[in-house]
Structure 1
Amino acid sequence: MADDTATPDTRAYVIHPEILTNRDRRAAGPALDEALALAAALPGLDILGGEIVRLPKPQPGGLFGTGKIDELHEKLEDMEAELVLIDGPVTPVQQRNLEKAWGVKLLDRTGLILEIFSDRARTREGVLQVEMAALSYQRTRLVRAWTHLERQRGGLGFVGGPGETQIEADRRAIDEQIVRIRKQLDKVVKTRELHRASRAKVPFPVVALVGYTNAGKSTLFNRLTGAEVMAKDMLFATLDPTMRGVTLPTGMKVILSDTVGFISDLPTQLVAAFRATLEEVLEADLILHVRDIAHADTDEQAADVAAILADLGVAEDTPQLEIWNKVDLLDATAREALTNRAARDPDILTLSAITGEGIDAAIAAVTERLDDARETAVLGLAFEDGRRRAWLHEQSIVTDEEQTDEGFRVTVNWTARQADRFAKL
């Protein structure tokens, strides 16, 4: 029997503003498709549809011109929409004015992504990072949204808006929460560092899967490890890194890491908040960049991933393999053309994580890249070599250390890349 008390899904409509003066704008059609997929990733929404609205330039008061606002108001009333999702940034003033004009709640792209992150985060670290990102976002809106603040405080509007004192008080309260969360995060990160150090004593290479969200990383991860990581056809299905040990056919053991999917226009506060989540990528011996090669915007998505990796500080000399996934979705002609292109580049592999086609070749390529990737070395360090010794410990590659009359005898298990970096210190 159905539960009559269940809350009905919120009726939501998606709008992608195509701002014609923005030279860096993405193709509007695929951008709207992605926005609809983002909306579908948030439970409790009934997606009524979406549309592209072309704008010569954004209007500071209401984003759209008055004529378009009225036209959209009629449409939203007809479909009884309760929530509008704007696929782009919306200022607090624009949000307030549009909510008033349309009689609906409104979320911009950043707000929607934060909602999804909040729903998906599972580990303690993930939850804390989402909270900190949400507070950072809220803080920027508190500073500017005086009337919004007044509504939150139940003001009657007789004396204008809240004064600077109230805004400062709200900012201070948020800053205190952020500081408290940072302290909790520091403890969590220290625990992760201890785990990383213990892994270094069983020095397995780390292979990190990265890619645009919904590229099929989690499905590939499951195929390679037999793990049951959530792998759904929705954006941001994975928000916390998942680590699994895998034994390659040669007997070599590696640690495979599945990470949160990247996305274009990821809010800056989220990039900062989730940097720790991507620690394993920063330390990886090999990065597998998984691409949805059947997606219309696959090249743009690949460029976004490369930009975020660079922003995170992933070293250019970290070996990478491109995994062209979802070849099973291509027609025969496109598939043959891509296979021929990939065959000319040893750093590109084609496969289908769903069907298993190409998996053996991918494992062989990973094995080849990691073969003899690490070697043990014994280093003699003087007492004054504190900085170099600290660097070795930061890399979590020290497997043994003993003090001598001259300094320290340090045993490390490192990659050629790390040995080269150490030599340059």
Structure 2
Amino acid sequence: MITKVTVLYSTPRSLSITENKFITIDSPQTKAYLVVLRPQGEENRRSEARLDELQSLVKTMGADIVGSLVIPLRNTNSATLIGSGKVAELQVLVEEAQADCVVFEQDLPPRVQRNLEQAFEIAVIDRQEVILQIFSDRAATKEAVLQVALARQEYSLPRLTRKWTHLSRQRGGMKGTRGEGETQLEIDRRIVMNRIAQLKRELQKVEGQRSIQRKSRSEGTIPTAAIVGYTNAGKSSLLNLISRSDVLVENKLFATLDPTTRKIPLPRGGELLVSDTVGFVSNLPHQLVDAFKSTLEEAKYADFIIHVVDASHPDMLQCYETTMEVLASLGCEGKPMVIFINKMDAQNDEFSVAKIIADHPGTITGSVKENEGIGELLLSVERLAHIAHPEYAFTIPHSRGDLVAMIRNNGTVLHIDYVDEGVKIRARIPRFLEKNLVPYISDGTGEILE
């Protein structure tokens, strides 16, 4: 496979925007050598799981993996993290593998990154930069493009003196702006900071539009749910199945960056709006958490959550816990949730599945691929939807036509009858209407009425 590779070359004097030359060349697919640092006390199984995830990330990025190494780490070295001895050992392995870059699973401080690049004389990137590259490649909508651009600019700001970088710099309008005594690095930093400020302003406008859309849904006649889960758990596949739609599905990490909302029918009548969300991942770079906050908050503002767990993942419990931690950071603690353990046809660990079921009664197991457990899942989803929009029977006096109109405009009318004592209506209504209609309830408990 031949791909276009952009290499940033810098002169020996200093690294500045004017002195950099972008050279685009045809070369074989980038060859990556992977490194995982295992801290003292960590189980081999956990280290191997982190290596597996890094391999998936790098493959998704489009690189060819030519080797990997797990390095036990007793003490960290401030200059290189791994010490001069391990640097020399790794340098030999990298040269033998003819790697074009070294990818560390651990986030690298800018100083360490520069030192390792000088030692290896090839690009050294960390997991954070890999994720940023994947997001950049997959961003499609205006909001996703802005979010990724912001995250990359914030990541690159402390790394302007690197020899190899993916930062795309633009010099527009900078002629004559260099102040007396201002260094080139300061100019570079100012350009990036101005770009960050500009991206934040543009994102605020887009987020404002999303807030309006979200508010209309939250005050609408249809209950809402958000599908969440670790990346590649099968969220988009589930949405496609239950909505009979064609949301992008790929067996790759982060196939979905933008929330997609679809309307689905419920088994016993009524409808539900379901939003697909970006997949979670352990130690998601804070720049991406901040940048994708409006996207991730689809879960916060939904009436309830559908949490999809991947039974085929070798570290299933860790993935589950990571998702729960991200949800907690978004303020979703206590929000109604149904857990669906997907890919049971390729189950990896019976104990992990059993533990989640024991800790969370009502957990549903199945397989989107095999269409197993979907009927049971939809019944659970329906119950949560009805709790969010409970069903009541009302008797409204003929003089209160405004209340009848309010129910019609904001709820789902199931039956209506005009009798001598008033208007009898059976309807599902959003919770915010209850306080206005309590005096007129003739039947209903806030749960599903049989």
Greater radius of gyration (CA): 2
SS in 1 for 2:61: coil
Going from structure 1 to structure 2, the CA distance change for 1:94 and 1:26 (only over 3 Å counts) comes to: farther
**1:330-368 deviation per Cα after TM superposition (whole angstroms, max 9, x unaligned):** 38x939x94797389543110111111111110111111
**1:76-106 deviation per Cα after TM superposition (whole angstroms, max 9, x unaligned):** 1111100111101112222122112212111
Alignment of 1:53-64 (within 5 A): 53-64=71-82
Alignment of 1:60-99 (within 5 A): 60-99=78-117
Alpha-carbon distance between aligned partners in 2 of 1:313 and 1:372, rounded to the nearest angstrom: 20
Structure 1 match to 2:399: none
* Paired residues of 2:256 and 2:279 also in contact (CA < 8 A): yes
Q: Does 1:9 align with 2:44?
A: no
Q: Does 1:34 align with 2:53?
A: yes
Structure 2 residue corresponding to 1:352, chosen from 337, 349, 367? 367
* Paired residues of 2:123 and 2:164 also in contact (CA < 8 A): no
Alignment of 1:173-322 (within 5 A): 173-200=191-218, 202-314=220-332, 316-322=333-339
Q: Does 1:103 align with 2:140?
A: no
Going from structure 1 to structure 2, the CA distance change for 1:347 and 1:166 (only over 3 Å counts) comes to: farther
Structure 2 match to 1:406: none
Alpha-carbon distance between aligned partners in 2 of 1:282 and 1:317, rounded to the nearest angstrom: 11
Count of matched residue pairs? 369
Alpha-carbon distance between aligned partners in 1 of 2:205 and 2:339, rounded to the nearest angstrom: 35
**1:232-279 deviation per Cα after TM superposition (whole angstroms, max 9, x unaligned):** 222111111111111112221111111111111111121111111123
Cα offset, 1:319, TM superposition: 0.1
* Paired residues of 1:206 and 1:255 also in contact (CA < 8 A): yes
Cα offset, 1:123, TM superposition: 1.1
Identity over the aligned pairs, expressed in percent? 37
Q: Does 1:324 align with 2:341?
A: yes
Q: Letter of the 1:329 partner, please give it.
A: A
Cα offset, 1:111, TM superposition: 0.8
SS in 2 for 1:302: helix
RMSD: 3.4
Structure 1 residue corresponding to 2:143, chosen from 116, 122, 125? 125
Q: Does 1:414 align with 2:426?
A: no
* Paired residues of 1:211 and 1:261 also in contact (CA < 8 A): yes
**1:384-404 deviation per Cα after TM superposition (whole angstroms, max 9, x unaligned):** xxxxxxxxxxxxxx959xxxx
* Paired residues of 1:84 and 1:105 also in contact (CA < 8 A): yes
Give the TM-score of the pair, scaled to structure 1.
0.78
**1:264-307 deviation per Cα after TM superposition (whole angstroms, max 9, x unaligned):** 11111211111111232111111011111232211111111111
Cα offset, 1:11, TM superposition: 0.9
Cα offset, 1:26, TM superposition: 8.5
Structure 1 gaps of 5+ residues are 154-162, 378-397, 401-411, 420-425
* Paired residues of 1:205 and 1:285 also in contact (CA < 8 A): yes
Cα offset, 1:168, TM superposition: 3.8
Q: Letter of the 2:291 partner, please give it.
A: A
**1:26-53 deviation per Cα after TM superposition (whole angstroms, max 9, x unaligned):** 810101000101101112x111132211
Alpha-carbon distance between aligned partners in 2 of 1:417 and 1:345, rounded to the nearest angstrom: 31
Q: Letter of the 1:319 partner, please give it.
A: P
SS in 2 for 1:289: strand
Give the TM-score of the pair, scaled to structure 2.
0.74
Structure 2 match to 1:114: 132
Alpha-carbon distance between aligned partners in 2 of 1:352 and 1:341, rounded to the nearest angstrom: 16
* Paired residues of 1:19 and 1:58 also in contact (CA < 8 A): no
Structure 2 gaps of 5+ residues are 5-24, 170-180, 393-408, 412-427, 436-450
Going from structure 1 to structure 2, the CA distance change for 1:25 and 1:74 (only over 3 Å counts) comes to: closer
SS in 2 for 1:371: helix
SS in 2 for 1:185: helix
